[in-house]
């Protein structure tokens, strides 16, 4: 007998964009979604109002029947979260501190609201409806502005003593190395994140190296910071741009050392890799996988599966929808 359709709202609240979606949580299907830039510089109230506006837009676009069961709203936010209280405690990338997000959304939409960390929630999405299906112990690692991961242990998200487990971006891979956003030195994300790749390429261009990307028109400038889209990097590699190939190769090696260390330490069944640069740049993915297998001990090197995330941009909203529903007792088919 077909299961009755049940819906939840999932919100991915990130430093660059806010994405809200109505998700059929019996299948993981996205019914409708809405997105806009976060504009964190405009302040906390702006971000809260934009989140409400996009949730409303996704609900309107979904055009569900009046009696359609919408069980919860779930959010994955890029920052430190008090999961019990539904509060975004500190999120520098969102320009937010002590934001009572569960209260704000709960009052607006009269639904239970659950809030989690963005990476943890994206990992949950991959676990329930993406590449993590069928695994009970794995790490889901996302490469973007930074590098973060969600850890699934015995079929549950493992968050650690202080809720910060999975911060693989801050594994030190180069003693005394590059300064990291966390204040430390030599962290993985200072070498292998999209931000790190961008900085390294721009530094070389400023020193006079030639590159297809040296043409400013190809670069997107945002508040004085350069963002090179993953597609542009992939395109430059396809055209044989030696600077981009060199920098991406170096980043892939560092990423591989990090992955190999994770394999040795946690001995997971699988590592799932996500993020725009992973999706778009085969050189990065393939070289990192090879480096990881050369770095890890022989048994995990042979047996750990290293695969790409399947839900792409939507792992966060699917996971957020699942987070909320799980918290109110919804049973997923495979988890
Ligand atoms: Zn760091």
Instruction: Report pLDDT digits (tens) over 132-162.
Output: 999 999 999 999 888 999 999 999 889 899 8
**Distance from the CA of 256 to the center of ligand 1, in angstroms?**
17
State the maximum Cα–Cα separation within the chain, in Å, rounded to a whole number: 66
**Distance from the CA of 69 to the center of ligand 1, in angstroms?**
43
**Distance from the CA of 118 to the center of ligand 1, in angstroms?**
18
Q: How far apart are CA 203 and CA 188, in angstroms?
A: 19
- Give, in degrees to the nearest 5, the angle at Cα 126 between 308 and 57: 115
pTM: 0.90
Q: What domains does the chain contain, in order, with CATH numbers?
A: 7-126+314-327 (3.30.420.40), 131-309 (3.30.420.40)
Could you tell me if 77 and 118 are in contact, meaning their C-beta atoms sit under 8 angstroms apart?
A: yes
Query: Does the structure show a pLDDT above 70 at 19?
Result: yes
Query: Does the structure show a pLDDT above 50 at 1?
Result: no
Average pLDDT, the chain: 92
**Confidence band (pLDDT; 50, 70, 90) for 331?**
confident
**Distance from the CA of 140 to the center of ligand 1, in angstroms?**
19
**Distance from the CA of 179 to the center of ligand 1, in angstroms?**
8
Strands (E), the chain: 7-13, 17-24, 29-37, 70-77, 80-82, 87-91, 96-99, 113-117, 138-143, 147-153, 156-158, 220-222, 225-227, 270-274, 305-308
Q: How far is CA 49 from CA 43, 101, 279, in A?
A: 10, 11, 31
- What the block records as the tokens of 238 is 């396809």
Strands 147-153 and 138-143: antiparallel
């Amino acid at each position: 007998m077909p299961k009755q359709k049940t819906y939840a709202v999932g919100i991915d609240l990130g430093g660059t964009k806010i994405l809200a979606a109505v998700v059929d949580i019996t299948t993981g299907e996205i019914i409708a979604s809405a997105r806009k830039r976060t504009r964190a510089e405009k302040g906390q109230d702006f971000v809260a109002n934009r989140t409400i506006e996009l949730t409303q837009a996704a609900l309107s676009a979904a055009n569900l029947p009046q009696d359609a069961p919408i069980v919860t709203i779930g959010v994955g936010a890029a920052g430190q979260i008090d999961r019990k209280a539904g509060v975004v405690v500190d999120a520098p990338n969102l320009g937010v501190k002590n934001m009572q997000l569960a209260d704000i959304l709960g009052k607006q939409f009269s639904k239970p609201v659950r809030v989690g960390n963005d990476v943890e929630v994206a990992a949950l999405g991959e676990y329930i409806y993406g590449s993590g299906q069928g695994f009970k112990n794995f790490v889901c690692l996302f490469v973007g502005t930074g590098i973060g991961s969600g850890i699934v242990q015995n079929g549950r998200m493992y968050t650690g003593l202080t809720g910060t487990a999975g911060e693989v971006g801050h594994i030190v891979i180069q003693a005394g190395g590059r300064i990291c956003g966390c204040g430390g030195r030599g962290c993985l994300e200072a070498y292998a994140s999209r931000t790190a790749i961008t900085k390294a390429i721009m530094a070389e261009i400023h020193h006079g190296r030639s590159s297809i990307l040296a043409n400013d028109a190809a670069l997107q400038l945002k508040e004085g910071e350069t963002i090179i889209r993953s597609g542009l990097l992939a395109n430059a590699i396809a055209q044989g741009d030696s600077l981009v190939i060199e920098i991406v190769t170096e980043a892939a090696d560092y990423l591989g050392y990090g992955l190999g260390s994770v394999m040795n330490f946690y001995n997971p069944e699988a590592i799932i890799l996500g993020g725009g640069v992973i999706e778009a740049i085969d050189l990065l993915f393939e070289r990192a996988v090879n480096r990881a297998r050369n770095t890890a001990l022989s048994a995990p090197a042979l047996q750990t599966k290293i695969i790409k995330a399947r839900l792409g941009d939507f792992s966060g909203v699917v996971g957020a929808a699942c987070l909320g529903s799980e918290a109110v007792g919804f049973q997923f088919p495979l988890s």
